[in-house]
Structure 1
């Protein structure tokens, strides 16, 4: 004979020959046979000593247990007093009813959208094994593609979907103004001059669905469209015409590429030519032409100045011819300049020198 004590908030399961006999509440009990006694705490998980379905055939066990069945492609989130406790994967679980208040939320993992009343904090912390997430930056937009089909446009933020076999893709694009460099383009002019060009284009994505879903590699297409526009313009001009009309390249490219880029969902904002690089021999020839032009301009300027100087001298000569006093003043000016250059004057000879000086400085 043996005594079994069942405390408060406990139950005792009595089996005999591995078959259910009775379920005992709080109290003291005596047993004389070979019964098996299993004592459980109320509110805890119930670990069945025999097949659970066999026990559930008895009304006492049905009343004492709370059974949770989780189907395939499903999980169940358990809360205790509205606080997260655990997650149940497919299977059958049992809890003894009692002092703890449990609630459950079933989640269907066969879909991707999160429609269950579960907070984002819980999803991003406790349920990370069952979700997949994508982050779209504030300056970006995304295209949600499910099983290869466009669903919707995603603005900036973090998005969560249930993890399953359904394919999800998010194609993201920068919605700010972008710049594409086109470097080292070798192009022949109309007169077969080979030159190298460096250009750039500034653009914005206006329709992300066209750019990311309806077209592939939109950046490569933008590059090719600008490249073709440059070749079309430059190939129709000779080198001299190109150098004279290089400012027209930008206007031509803007007009030529605008409609074609609109099909890609892109708006062109501007473009420009960084460099037009000539080959070495052509560069030498252009430098020689430039030097010849500059020399010719310098000669013209020199001739113009010489002509002006001679005209000035002629006018001065006419004035001195008409005015004897002006002639003497000019002579004295030159004598003064000569005197500034010397320190001593040594005079040798007869009286003719004095007469000559007298003729210079004294008016008859």
Structure 2
């Protein structure tokens, strides 16, 4: 009949029935018929397969008509120190950050929530790290989760709001980064090389040399090296540079060229003692080459062999 309206709601749908633009009924799966002589009835149909309600106008409407709609939806909220992991039918679907809200249709799908207080439990379990690392919500995770892997012969230093909290051994770690600043600095404890290249230095008899120096060192106390120095590599570089200038600036050219190994010994003796105070061990120092000025008409003296 022309004045009779037939409405079909599928198993995966919900229908919002409006009469004179007012929500009067929420329709579940089924076939409905209504008399509508003046075209006063409208129905908005929603696919509830995705479970989550994302439309802002529907949320506002349900709030205003809560007595009518409350059995059809569930609201999940998190407080200022809480995150929530959302699972639908046992599968992780989303991470809720602190002070957020999500709405879900009440369907046959089972929605489960696992809440975590990120102030009391800052470290993320290995199981959750694996789940969250694969999550599609990368923008939330990149801001709210720090994941670091410390491999053998490395240590990790965990800082919370700028304060050192823990030293991390080899392993994979995750930390919540909401309402606090979490950083993990990875420190290499294997032997490393540092090049001090192209230093222009005057000898005692005012000959300008270019000297390339190589050093091998290890970080033996990562806490000291990182917390007591702004940049331990830069500190070591500067100390090598200064000591090299002293070693060359106190001798005339002929003496330097006659006993080139004395430069290495001098530099290492001074620098090794100083950097040891900050958890660094200087293993070896070697001048790679000395480049003489053109007017002396001698080739580069290589010390690499």
Q: TM-score, length-normalised on structure 2?
A: 0.64
Do structure 1's residue 101 and structure 2's residue 115 form an aligned pair?
A: no
Paired residues for 1:279-294 under 5 Å: 279-282=293-296
Do structure 1's residue 79 and structure 2's residue 84 form an aligned pair?
A: no
Pair 1:236–1:118, CA change in 2 (3 A): closer
Deviation at 1:7, TM superposition (A): 10
- 2:157 maps to which of 134, 143, 147: 143
Residue 67 of structure 1 is matched in structure 2 by: 74
Structure 1 counterpart SS, 2:237: helix
| Residues 176, 182 of structure 2: 8 Å contact kept | no
Which structure dedicates a bigger proportion of its chain to strand? 2
Deviations 1:269-306 (A, max 9, x none): 1112223444455567xxxxxxxxxxxxxxxxxxxxxx
Deviation at 1:124, TM superposition (A): 0.9
Distance 2:278 2:76 in 1: 52
Residue 228 of structure 1 is matched in structure 2 by: 242
Q: Which has the higher contact order (CA 8 A, sep 6+)?
A: 2
Paired residues for 1:160-199 under 5 Å: 160-162=174-176, 164=178, 166-199=180-213
Distance 1:7 1:236 in 2: 92
Runs of 5+ consecutive residues of structure 2 not aligned to the other structure: 299-305
Which structure dedicates a bigger proportion of its chain to helix? 1
Deviations 1:26-59 (A, max 9, x none): 999998999989899999668979843465547x
Pair 1:5–1:163, CA change in 2 (3 A): same
| Residues 131, 162 of structure 1: 8 Å contact kept | no
Structure 2 counterpart SS, 1:216: coil
| Residues 131, 161 of structure 1: 8 Å contact kept | no
Pair 1:254–1:81, CA change in 2 (3 A): same
Runs of 5+ consecutive residues of structure 1 not aligned to the other structure: 285-364
Do structure 1's residue 120 and structure 2's residue 129 form an aligned pair?
A: yes
| Residues 136, 157 of structure 1: 8 Å contact kept | yes
Deviation at 1:266, TM superposition (A): 1.3
Pair 1:2–1:275, CA change in 2 (3 A): closer
Deviations 1:2-47 (A, max 9, x none): 99999999999999995879x9999999989999898999996689
Pair 1:192–1:249, CA change in 2 (3 A): same
Pair 1:16–1:213, CA change in 2 (3 A): same
Paired residues for 1:293-332 under 5 Å: none
Q: TM-score, length-normalised on structure 1?
A: 0.56
Instruction: Count the aligned residue pairs.
Output: 279
